[in-house]
Amino acid sequence: MIYMPNLPSLGSKAPDFKANTTNGPIRLSDYKGNWIVLFSHPGDFTPVCTTEFLCFAKYYDEFKKRNTELIGLSVDSNSSHLAWMYNISLLTGVEIPFPIIEDRDMRIAKLYGMISKPMSDTSTVRSVFIIDNNQILRTILYYPLTTGRNIPEILRIVDALQTSDRDNIVTPANWFPGMPVILPYPKNYKELKNRVNSCNKKYSCMDWYLCFVPDNYNDEEVSKKIDNTCSWKKEHTKNIENECNCEHEHHDYLNKALDCKQEHKTDIKDDCNHEKKHTKNTNKVHNSKQDKFKDKSCDEMNFNYDKDESCDKINSSYNKEDSSYEDFYKHNYKNYDYTSEKNTKKIAMKTLKDSKKLVRPQITDPYNPIVENANCPDINPIVAEYVLGNPTNVDAQLLDAVIFAFAEIDQSGNLFIPYPRFLNQLLALKGEKPSLKVIVAIGGWGAEGFSDAALTPTSRYNFARQVNQMINEYALDGIDIDWEYPGSSASGITSRPQDRENFTLLLTAIRDVIGDDKWLSVAGTGDRGYINSSAEIDKIAPIIDYFNLMSYDFTAGETGPNGRKHQANLFDSDLSLPGYSVDAMVRNLENAGMPSEKILLGIPFYGRLGATITRTYDELRRDYINKNGYEYRFDNTAQVPYLVKDGDFAMSYDDALSIFLKTQYVLRNCLGGVFSWTSTYDQANILARTMSIGINDPEVLKEELEGIYGQF
């Protein structure tokens, strides 16, 4: 049985819909009065999609000149689309100005027949729907996944449709704007005879059914009296008007299209005094170089891929003033350089080539990925995210757990949640992904109350019962204890010498009260000071589910030269503080008794320069990365990026490449997973998506990175 998608019919009303997009919610009917090019992309945008996005963006202004709006669509999430748009901007400097629809439930895809079951049940093919200003579907195009669309051809179709509507004509094969067009069939016999017998017309007929007129003609031209002589009148305007009136004796004389020279279907003498060669099917060409209606064979009319005005000229105009309209449509794609000339293109390949064997986990369930790690098959690494503030950008499909930050302890020792509305928004995400764990973190930097809560058996169990009450009240999956730090007053909190031992006792009481089925984690560091003074790692390991390793902020207390170092380097290098690396902290924890499968590796979604300067990832990509004098660099040894300005180290941060390398480290070393601090700093979910794919499907991320940096 051959499957045919439900296609809307040409000439029918385009199905209306409402959808969320990268530009906000839209409704198709709101665009009435504009033409629309609605085009779909496969899920998990491919390299081909990147090239199409670039060219659609470059032609955006040309479509706008034609009162035409571009609307993209895929079955990916809005956050995925935003990440892809940012990736394109980062690599090429090209901004994507048109909206992209997230069609997660494939409602619109099915409405328009974008799903081809022989290829995929869940992914749209490359389709194009051209909808006119009355919301009538005028064109449907389908492309295989392996073949990119010709954007100039789509623009040409819009021109052809609009020209047909405006002038009541049709367009011939290989037509470009400025070339002759074809009159529709005559309405009656009298009109037929007038066409073929009269030379006092603006049109030239090869036969009664095939009459050509210049493009962009008007009624004033029709009323002009054309001399009955064999003369040529040339006007050097944008669209050259060739007028010819040649006397003839028989209605079978052919008014040759494009040069107005008339000849009989058989070989007869031309009445016009112009040099010609007679064959039955030869089109005469006027000897003027400015003849816009020059006839061309089909081979000559095909796109010529030898022009310089191609999409790979990222910063050049596609429509040069001195180029003809026909040239505007001809582009060279074969030498397209899809990477930027900026320093981001120059990521050292040594880092990629020297990275160890790619570990590919296998996803068996879309809601709760059960991952088989080649090095440690019993470990299913997870992806978590701390959420500080408004959670509107959190994408549940990217995560296994969200950790609300923070619940606090008041002066009376009671727990409270400052922003319950935000917590309820996170809990609502379970409707999208039932397996999502919603955790509340208690504490944070500078949070008081822990030392008192952990001081005595009574205080410990009072605190544990409050924790359990909060879990039950909000139907939480568990809690995270973020005491920064037991035995230390560095953040200005109360501390006691016995805090280290009391911390273990507090966790024991909490586990005893909430039970073994609830999540219990601890946020801490892996430096030797923390291990020796703040936490009994070997004793808390059996109690907790995860140790959330804050493997960042290495330079948070540094100024001067030490402040100009990496804050979250994977390995040591000349640009890192001695003894401070992600790898060193993991090894310290393992040596102290924390099983690797309980360690979640923390990834910062922000940049840092020493103790005083931090910037969110959103700020970095907007104002810093290869902007305003900041230049991108990558430390091959430390395996993290950084920025320099005027030759000096100016910012440490993480990007897609370093996150890929860190997720590979997690898989290779059998860690429990990753988490980020914090979702608020990555509103487009660019890094969150990278982190998620890096754990759940690293081959996909590898292919994306190879598309940017080359094969490795």
Half-sphere exposure of 123 (CA within 13 A, CB side): 13
Q: Which residues participate in catalysis according to the annotation?
A: 49
Question: What tokens appear for 404 in the block?
Answer: 């609300």
Residues 6+ apart with CB under 8 A from 16: 27, 28, 29, 135
Q: β-strands 546-549, 648-652: how paired? A: unpaired
| Cβ contact 285:275 at 8 Å | no
Q: Comparing C-alpha atoms, which of 448, 460, 455 is closest to residue 416?
A: 448
- C-alpha distances (whole Å) from 111 to each of 15, 38, 105 are 7, 13, 11
Q: β-strands 18-19, 26-27: how paired? A: antiparallel
The verdict on whether residue 126 carries a ligand-binding annotation is: yes
| DSSP 8-state code for residue 567 | S
Residues 6+ apart with CB under 8 A from 333: 51, 148, 305, 310, 311, 312
Question: What tokens appear for 459 in the block?
Answer: 């205080």
Cα 511 from Cα 471, distance rounded (Å): 13
Cα 18 from Cα 25, distance rounded (Å): 7
**Residue in the structure block whose two tokens are 């839209």:** 26
Cα 81 from Cα 99, distance rounded (Å): 10
Cα 170 from Cα 182, distance rounded (Å): 5
Residue 548 neighbours by CB distance under 10 Å: 28
Q: Comparing C-alpha atoms, which of 617, 585, 579, 578 is closest to residue 600?
A: 585
Helix (H, G, I), strand (E, B) or coil at 313: coil
Indicate the annotated binding residues: 126
Indicate the annotated binding residues for substrate: 126
